[in-house]
């Protein structure tokens, strides 16, 4: 009898203490959608999972239907009271009216929100931006990729309501202008990441304001912006902390502008795809100035030759892992051994391939990692 009591006590301890501890560890590795599904298994499991606050700091509704109503319903639940990240990337049926309802009904739940992803939410306009940013005073990361409704008015609401932004993605927001960049430059001196891909209304004036007002930038994406000139490009040299720079399609960038950019000593990744005015002079300046470079794309530049490759080998041989010279007709093809003599750390070398005609960003969208992984040693395409 006594033995049975001991066994029962041990089982009770196992149920009360061990199982919840194991469940917490295992459930922390599940996606949020799997966690939500588990809530329906039993009242005990529901209560146990809900008791782990760290499990409910992310609200993930990406690519989901009826996302607007789902978002309102979720933020009404106690478990999301301290949510820090909301992902609505390419979610369906999310409109301004939903964000306005959230502002009016769920204000307390958004006080700790730090990351808001509205990528591809095409029905959101300036009105929705005003509502949601008004409810998120501690927002740090804001992404609104490919939204053609948002204008400078929406960005004005953002900078007015959210004072702690360090990461902005305006990629594809074709209706924001230099006025938006002026607001960003004036209000976010601590900004670290900025993506302006295909923001086609921008000019040198707006970019220069960013370069003067946001000295902490370490990632700047100017992909597919052909209107900028050396007048602005030269001032990229002001960004002493810059590590990632995408200038793909910078048709007006000259060797002189690139030589100024080469003063960014911390640069690790540089995309010069289709910067067609560049020659050996500019690339040699980069080789001499950016000696920590790990990724370099010269895709489509016919004005470079083996001279720049030799210069890169002298200064960046121990750092470069990815080098794309696809379409660079002045650079001769080399064997694997010859390449490794020039760049011992090289993992990916592009000199011709099926990817001809696509940009770095397009290739990444196909699921090919061109930068540091997936090459299985050195791959020559």
| pLDDT exceeds cutoff 70 at 356 | no
Number of H helices, E strands in the chain: 16, 13
pLDDT tens-digit map of 9-22: 445 555 666 778 88
Is 192 a member of any domain?
no
Q: What is the pLDDT of residue 368?
A: 32
Min mean pLDDT across 91-100, 266-275, 306-315, 354-363 is at 354-363
Quick check: is 256 in a domain? no
Q: Is the pLDDT of residue 193 over 90?
A: yes
Q: Quick one: which of 317, 375, 368, 367 has its CA closest to 349? A: 375
pLDDT(320) > 50: yes
Residue 48: inside a domain: yes
Alpha-carbon distances of 363 from 15, 171, 174, 243, 350, rounded to whole Å: 51, 17, 22, 21, 12
Residue 24 banded pLDDT, cuts 50, 70, 90: confident
Evaluate if residue 362 carries a pLDDT over 80. no
The confidence score (pLDDT) of residue 135 equals 97
- For residue 47, what are the domain limits? 19-55
DSSP 324-368: E-TT-TBS----HHHHHHH-TT--EEESS-TTTT--HHHHHHTT-
The pLDDT value recorded for residue 20 is: 80
Residue 379 has pLDDT above 60, yes or no: no
Tell me the pLDDT of the chain averaged across its residues.
89
In a domain, 156, yes or no: no
Band of residue 3 on the pLDDT scale cut at 50, 70, 90: low
pLDDT band for position 354 (50/70/90)?
Answer: very low
Give the C-alpha distances (Å, rounded to integers) separating 352 from 77, 358, 367. 54, 12, 19
| Angstrom distance (rounded) from CA 70 to CA 94 | 9
- Residue 345 clears pLDDT 50, i.e. is over it: yes
Is residue 44 in a domain? yes
**What is the rounded average pLDDT of the residues 53-62?**
96
| pLDDT tens per residue across span 258-303 | 999 999 999 999 999 999 999 999 999 999 999 999 999 999 999 9
Query: Does any domain span residue 177?
Result: no
pLDDT over 50 (residue 372) = no
The answer to whether 306 touches 280, Cβ cutoff 8 Å, is: no
Task: Tell me if 261 is assigned to some domain.
Answer: no
Kindly state whether residue 275 falls inside one of the protein's structural domains: no
Cα end-to-end distance, the chain, whole Å? 74
> What is the per-residue pLDDT across 81-127, written as a single tens digit (0 to 9) for each?
999 999 999 999 999 999 999 999 999 999 999 999 999 999 999 99
Strand partners, 322: 295, 348
Domain count within the chain: 1
Neighbour tally for 339: CB within 10 Å: 19
**Distance from C-alpha of 317 to C-alpha of 20, rounded to nearest angstrom:** 52
pLDDT digits (tens, 9 = 90+) for 207-261: 999 999 999 999 999 999 999 999 999 999 999 999 999 999 999 999 999 999 9
Give the separation between CA 90 and CA 145, rounded to whole angstroms. Answer: 10
The residue with greater pLDDT, 257 or 356, is: 257
Contacts of 44 (CB under 8 A, 6+ apart): none
Count Cβ atoms below 10 Å from residue 54 Cβ, excluding itself. 9
Residue 28 has what pLDDT?
87
């Amino acid at each position: 009898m006594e033995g049975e009591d001991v066994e029962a006590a041990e089982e009770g301890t196992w149920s009360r203490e061990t199982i919840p501890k194991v469940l917490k560890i295992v459930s922390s590795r599940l996606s949020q959608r799997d966690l939500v599904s588990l809530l329906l298994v039993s009242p005990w499991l529901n209560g146990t999972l809900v008791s782990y606050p760290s499990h409910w700091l992310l609200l993930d509704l990406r690519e989901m239907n009826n996302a607007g109503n789902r978002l309102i319903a979720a933020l009404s639940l106690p478990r999301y009271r301290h949510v820090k990240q909301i992902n609505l990337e390419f979610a369906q049926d999310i409109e301004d009216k939903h964000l306005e309802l959230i502002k009016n009904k769920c204000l307390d739940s958004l006080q700790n929100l730090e990351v808001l992803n509205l990528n591809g939410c095409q029905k959101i306009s300036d009105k929705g931006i005003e509502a949601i940013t008004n409810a998120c005073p501690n927002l740090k990361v804001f992404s609104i990729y490919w939204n053609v409704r948002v204008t400078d008015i929406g960005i004005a609401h953002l900078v007015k309501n959210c004072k702690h932004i360090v990461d902005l993605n305006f990629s594809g927001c074709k209706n924001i202008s230099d006025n938006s960049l002026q607001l960003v430059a004036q209000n976010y001196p601590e900004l670290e990441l900025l993506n302006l891909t295909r923001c086609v209304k921008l000019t040198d004036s707006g970019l220069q304001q960013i370069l003067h007002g946001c000295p902490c930038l370490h990632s700047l994406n100017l992909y597919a912006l052909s209107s900028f000139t050396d007048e602005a490009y030269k001032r990229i040299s002001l960004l002493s902390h810059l590590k990632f720079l995408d200038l793909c399609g910078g048709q007006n960038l000259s060797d002189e502008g690139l030589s100024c950019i080469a003063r960014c000593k911390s640069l690790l990744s540089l995309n010069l795809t289709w910067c067609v005015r560049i020659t050996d002079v500019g690339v040699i300046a980069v080789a001499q100035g950016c000696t920590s470079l790990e990724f370099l794309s010269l895709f489509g530049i016919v004005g470079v030759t083996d001279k720049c490759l030799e210069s890169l080998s002298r200064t960046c041989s121990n750092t470069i892992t990815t080098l794309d010279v696809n379409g660079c007709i002045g650079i001769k093809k080399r064997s694997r051994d010859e390449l490794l003599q020039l760049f011992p750390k090289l993992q990916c070398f592009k000199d011709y391939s099926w990817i001809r005609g696509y940009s770095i960003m397009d290739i990444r969208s196909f699921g090919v990692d061109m930068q540091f992984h997936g090459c299985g040693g050195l791959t020559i395409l």
